[in-house]
Amino acid sequence: MADNVLTLNNIEVVYDFVSLAIKGVSLHVPQGGMVALLGANGAGKSTTLKSISGLLAAERGEVRRGDVRFLDHDLRALPPQERVRLGVAHVLEGRRVFEHLTPDENLIAASAIRSRHDVARNKERVYTYFPRLYERRTSQAGYLSGGEQQMLAIGRALMTQPKLLMLDEPSLGLAPFLVAEIFQIIRSINKEEGLSVLLVEQNAVAALEIVSHGYLIESGRIVMHDSAEALKKNPDIQEFYLGGT
């Protein structure tokens, strides 16, 4: 079996045929690993995730060069729904949930390709990890707090039984205690199930607490790759991303 669940090799992404957003990015996520992709606004984090899940086409973007490998699959050759079926889950920035549906209905709606038995089991699993969602399971999702909506967005991804969970800025707009709670839950899912995680964050402080490795992207290029411990001590990271001295 491949050592890495995901390998990006020198990918380039363009929007509208000309606008080069990603300029030769290589990164990997080991099987069962937790890796962060850090960077400022507009650096190319979301674009990188979309190149993996296949959601670029909807925005007139495309991977123009390079490999996107998931286990033994060449993802570039596959449509987004096939990538989900293989085990790639992408939680988009901004907690996209169906606001007029309940959490329960949101979870069921995310599981169209699973049997009824799988849906019941997966729902139970999501509620075990996120007991708050269970408490709110009959409210409209639009009335949930920001943190609860983020939990629901992650729960929807878990309903697809992913092997790789990609999270785009899950901490955005949430109070620090909620970020800590959600990140600890993600870490326990990783530990208990060996689910591999690629975490995109501007909040480097919180991200580097839970991942083992991180990449720093600037203007569409990876400019640093190291262990979380080393990144935390790096003066540039401290100055620009950790609010350090």
Residue carrying the six token digits 């992207």 = 217
Task: Give the residue with the Cβ less far from ligand ATP, 159 or 231.
Answer: 231
CB of 158 to ligand ATP, least distance (A): 23
Q: How many residues in total does the chain contain? A: 245
CB of 220 to ligand ATP, least distance (A): 7
Task: Give the residue with the Cβ less far from ligand ATP, 55 or 101.
Answer: 55
CB of 57 to ligand ATP, least distance (A): 11
Q: Please say whether the dihedral angle defined by the alpha carbons of residues 148, 154, 160 and 163, taken in this order, is positive or negative.
A: negative
Helical (H) or strand (E) element with 67: strand 61-70
CB of 36 to ligand ATP, least distance (A): 13
What CA–CA distance (Å, rounded) separates 147 from 87?
25
Task: Give the residue with the Cβ less far from ligand ATP, 45 or 232.
Answer: 45
Is there a contact between 118 and 151 (Cβ–Cβ < 8 Å)? no
Task: Give the residue with the Cβ less far from ligand ATP, 59 or 82.
Answer: 59
Contacting residues toward ligand ATP, per CB under 6 A:
15-16, 19, 21, 39, 41-47, 59, 61, 202
Q: Are strands 4-15 and 19-30 parallel, antiparallel or unpaired?
A: antiparallel
What CA–CA distance (Å, rounded) separates 118 from 132?
22
